[in-house]
Structure 1
Amino acid sequence: MGKVVLDVSLSLDGFTAGPNVCEAEPMGDGGERLHAWMAESGPEGEIDASVRREVEAAGGATVIGRRTFDLGLGPWGGTPWPGVPSFVVTHRARQDLLGDSGGTFAFDEMQAAVRRARQAAGHRNVLVLGADVARHLLRACLLDTVRG
């Protein structure tokens, strides 16, 4: 069985987004700088791209915080990775949502979301998106690996 993995870009002072996170700026003011390495530019571009491809290829499902879902749905146009099921941690139940990219969002409380994501991922990893949900998973001992 795969692992539940938090692989996150963060600032030296521990932030995963810039200030003033909102619908117009889902990563906050200047927050995209934290993820610029994924754009494959600069002297280490191909190395960065290969790291990103490796993480994505190992992912079989995602666990997403509700706020990350709310802010990410528009820019993603569906699930963060096309066809990969995503489990949104929330106390507000709703019907599953089929994303434009072919992936499905399922909504559940934390323990159930992780259990379902592990089942969906099979031998592949469950990738975690969202700082707040990551904090809760860490406190509940539900994260297997943290990479920053």
Structure 2
Amino acid sequence: MSLARVHNFAISLDGFGTGEPQSRDEPFGHAGERLHEWMFATRFWHETTRQPGGSSGLDDAFARQYKPGVGAEIMGAGKFGPPGWHEDPEWKGWWGPNPPFHTPTFILTHHPRPSIEMDGGTTFHFLDTSPAKALETAREAADGQDVRIGGGATVIRDFLAAGLIDHMHVAVVPVLLGRGVRLWDGLEGLEKDYEVEANSSPSGVTHVTFTRVGL
């Protein structure tokens, strides 16, 4: 069976995966881009955005694991758009006409709408269902490849609580946000089900991986 994977999900030292308030101009609220600057500096990101340069090393190595072997993505409503996006029939996500996913992408929302086919192979589908049912649907669409659980923090937390994540990479960034949406709330003892490894980068980021025991 294909795996459910999380990659490059960045949190602050105090565990927040996003700041507040989220808006059309500030997708991560008061956090801005501070959680993702480590990734923007990598050669992987520069290649993805067709810019020269970028750093190699540990950050780049982890960033590159984002794409290979992924055939579908699941994300929450808050990753797809700001509060109230469902009231705008023209809203098609933050990423322009060619989103970076290039796979069937399933949005968990209480406000389903018809699917949206984008350039580059991304099609957005809108589901009002449980994590388990969403994963079953995404696996069918992934055609034997893995399913990436893309975030935000609430969705990843729900999938972890349901025991559905097989592998997870969290980048702990040396900033303090103080408020926002926390990843780890309600997941006491999670580490018992996973082999956990931590690697520190010269950038100050600690890359923590969770791989299900026996995988």
TM-score (norm 2): 0.60
- In angstroms, what is the RMSD of aligned CA positions? 2.5
Q: What residue number does 1:146 align with?
A: 168
Question: CA, structure 1 residues 80+131, in 2 after alignment: closer, same or farther (shift >3 Å)?
Answer: farther
Match of 1:60 in 2: 71
Q: For structure 1, which segment, 89-98 or 78-87, has the greater mean C-alpha deviation from structure 2 after superposition? A: 78-87
The separation in 2 between residues aligned to 1:52 and 1:15, in whole angstroms, is 20
Q: Residue 190 of structure 2 corresponds to which residue in structure 1?
A: none
Structure 2 counterpart of 1:49, one-letter code: D
Q: CA deviation at 1:32?
A: 1.0
Q: Are 2:81 and 2:94, in contact at CA under 8 Å, matched by a contact in 1?
A: no
Per-residue CA deviations over 1:21-61 (Å, capped at 9, x if unaligned) read 2111001223311111111359x921223322222223221
- Asked if 1:49 is matched to 2:60, the reply is yes
- Are 2:103 and 1:92 aligned? no
Matched to 2:147, the amino acid is: V
Q: 1:80 to 1:141 in 2, by over 3 A?
A: farther
Are 1:2 and 2:22 an aligned pair?
Answer: no
Match of 2:146 among 125, 138, 144: 125
TM superposition score normalised by structure 1? 0.83
- Aligned-residue offset at 1:18: 2.4
- Corresponding pairs, count: 147
Label 1:143 to 1:82 Cα distance change in 2 as closer, same or farther (>3 A).
closer
Q: Verify the 8 A CA contact 2:99 2:119 in the aligned structure 1.
A: no
Q: Is the 8 A contact 1:79 1:104 kept in 2?
A: no
Which is helix-richer, 1 or 2? Answer: 1
Contact 1:79–1:85 (Cα < 8 Å) also in 2:
no
4+ residue segments displaced more than 3 Å: 71-74
Distance 1:135 1:36, change over 3 A: same
Give the aligned partner of residue 115 of structure 1: 136
Residues 128, 134 of structure 1: 8 Å contact kept: yes
Q: 1:79 to 1:11 in 2, by over 3 A?
A: farther
Q: Mark the structure with the bigger radius of gyration.
A: 2
Give a deviation string over 1:68-119, Cα, whole Å, max 9, x none.
Answer: 1124954312575242110111232221111244310111113332111112
SS in 1 for 2:158: helix
Higher RCO structure (Cα 8 Å, ≥6 apart): 1
Where 1:45 maps in the other structure, the secondary structure is coil
Amino acid corresponding to residue 118 of structure 1 in structure 2: R
